[in-house]
Structure 1
Amino acid sequence: MTVSTPLLELGNNVTGLPFEIHSMEWIAENRWQRNAGAHRHNYFVIIWVISGSGRHRVDMNTYPVRDNTIFCIAPGQVHELQTDGDAHGYVISFTQEFLGAHDNQAELIFRCSVSASPDEGPVIPVSEDMQQELLDVVNNLRKEYSNFFLLRSEILRGYLKIFLVYLSRRVDVTATTAPPSRHTELLRTFSELLEKNFKTEHSVSGYAAAMVITPNHLNEIIKKSTGFPASHHIQQRIVLEAKRQAMYSGVSMKEIAYDLGFDDVAHFSKFFRNGTGLSFTDFKKNLADGFNQ
């Protein structure tokens, strides 16, 4: 039987806003069913654990849950938070559109959750001084979220941006604070197109055509900005999704290959090996061995 990873969506809540803020206690009492297993979101999630312990699986990695840590989860990431007993903290959820179509602060969350180092992962430690500043913002967010006053969305958006600015001070985000350049805009456009189309478009030429530039120019720009050409990012995005499905669902290699736009399973198998250095079978075996330890 095929088992897929649930996708949770934001925007159908009683407030009518693509934004939510709740305590972890409220989430545990009211959302325990949909958060019981591994799942993914179509929105950004910030989990601030003020006190508590446990483990947090994000994609292929597991991180310890400790007091005063913040986890940043980007849309599409698969995660599962398991706490040892009660945990105190807050969960903030919002879409890119709510924050702003091209707001640089949303890139902070994406960078933390996807591009962070394996040692630290999508985790931001909260210092004692920073805790009080964040609490003040959270209290303002909760107060405004519970009311339905004029310009409520604008005020919530403003407080959310302040919260993200405080987080940015704990992360190296020099690139996100610099004025956007032509290369930055092209990188952003490529990233957005890749996230939307990686299952159906596997070629640099396809993305270049959508951006009205040549494939060589696209590869050059992306390599200057990231250190790797566009072709590498396309490969790694497809491989990441294959890993997610292999780890968190009961689908076969054939089903994963088809879902990711490969008609030939042998082609997908070679593609996966080139991207990971492992065969799909060995990758699955390593997963099983890791879970059984």
Structure 2
Amino acid sequence: MLASPQIRIPKIDLPSGFVAKTLQQEETGKKNPEGTPHRHNFFTVLWITRGSGIHQIDFTDFPIENQYVHFVSPQQVHWFRSDPGVEGYLFLFTEDFLQACGINPRFLQALGLFTGCTQAEPLFIPADKRAALKELCVKAIAETDPSHDFYLEAAASYLRLFLIECSRIKGLIPNEIENRNENRILKSFLDNLDNHFHQKHKVAEYASLQNITPNYLNEVVKEASGASAKEHIQNRLSLEAMRYATHSDMTTKETAFALGFDDPAHFSKFFKKMKGIDFTGFREQIRRQHL
């Protein structure tokens, strides 16, 4: 029996801490092969002004469409395959870059644009907002010239304004839950889940962190997000397992222990129930897709 191909998903670093460019420039100087899954240690903002194709983020396909902005958090696995002639703007930046320019990384959490462990639809930019956003992108790109005094600080300012405007646009979307106690509980739960999912697998454990009952947490999370707290926990564990399957050579047993399962058999049963395929089969499926 032939061994399955050993394909590691590359993890791409950003030594400069910040990049701003047009997508036309990115296509010309592209180093990552088109359609190859990869992870970042930085944030990505991708505004498609014209083009088509597919952008997969954490195993969910999003169509590349005109006037949509895509937000990708560090450690998310994604790949981007566009048809010829794509146009738009690209920002890449690290937390260290933000801090060096006097921007608290908590600012990103407050914006609600980078979800990390939960899927967020790309953001549509209305016609009356495009000119102002384009101007910010053009100015940010111009400020990447090292010959300018305080060029990074200036570029960071334009990036910050761009993100604030996107957050405001997102806040105008109908049915968006804002300024409610339920929303605060949901946000706190998701933050706790992202920090503790390796150790805590029960709703009661997360309810305890927020000093509320498990039933109330489930009720609020379900109302605010459409999924129960238990479903969020299961989805987060499943997502991380898929990431391990994709970007590492860890065995099923090693993955189970890394995710806080005491019994690898329990993890195997959980994964197959969630994905309809066992862990090894999923890994082989992903690798065949990207040979």
Give the TM bin, normalised by the shorter chain: 0.7 to 0.9
Match of 1:119 in 2: none
Q: Which structure 1 residue ranges, 5 or more long, are not aligned?
A: 117-121
What does residue 101 of structure 1 align with?
106
Which deviates more, 185-194 or 126-135? 126-135
Asked if the contact 2:253–2:264 (Cα under 8 Å) also holds between the matched residues in 1, the reply is: yes
Residue 284 of structure 1 aligns with which residue? 282
Structure 1, 26-35 or 138-147: larger mean CA deviation: 26-35
The Cα shift of 1:254 comes to: 3.2
5 Å-filtered alignment, 1:144-183, equals 144-146=143-145, 147-149=148-150, 152=154, 155-156=157-158, 158-165=160-167, 167-168=169-170, 171-172=173-174, 174-175=176-177, 178-179=178-179, 181-183=180-182
| Residues 201 and 223 of structure 1, relative CA distance in 2, 3 Å threshold | same
1:5 is aligned to 9
Percent identity for Structure 1 against Structure 2: 27
- Going from structure 1 to structure 2, the CA distance change for 1:161 and 1:125 (only over 3 Å counts) comes to closer
Return the offset for 1:80: 0.8
Q: Does 1:193 align with 2:192?
A: yes
Alignment RMSD: 4.0
SS at match of 1:187: helix
Task: Label 1:195 to 1:185 Cα distance change in 2 as closer, same or farther (>3 A).
Answer: same
Contact 1:137 1:163 in 2 (8 A): no
Q: Deviations 1:52-77 (Å, cap 9, x if unpaired)?
A: 44432222233443554432323432
CA gap 1:174/1:222 in 2 versus in 1, 3 angstroms: closer
| Alpha-carbon shift at residue 235 of structure 1 (Å) | 1.0
Q: How many residues align?
A: 277
What TM-score comes out, normalization by structure 2 length?
Answer: 0.72
What amino acid is the match of 1:225? A
Q: What is the TM-score when the length of structure 1 is the normalising length?
A: 0.72
Shift in alpha-carbon separation, 1:254–1:164, aligned structure 2, 3 A: same
Gaps in structure 2 of 5+ consecutive residues: none
Alpha-carbon distance in 2 for matches of 1:235, 1:190? 14
Equivalent position amino acid for 1:27 in 2: E
Q: Deviations over 1:8-57 (max 9, x none)?
A: 455x42xxxx6542222443455614987312234432212334444322
**Distance in 2, Cα, partners of 1:245 & 1:103:** 26
Q: Which moved more, 1:146-155 or 1:254-263?
A: 146-155
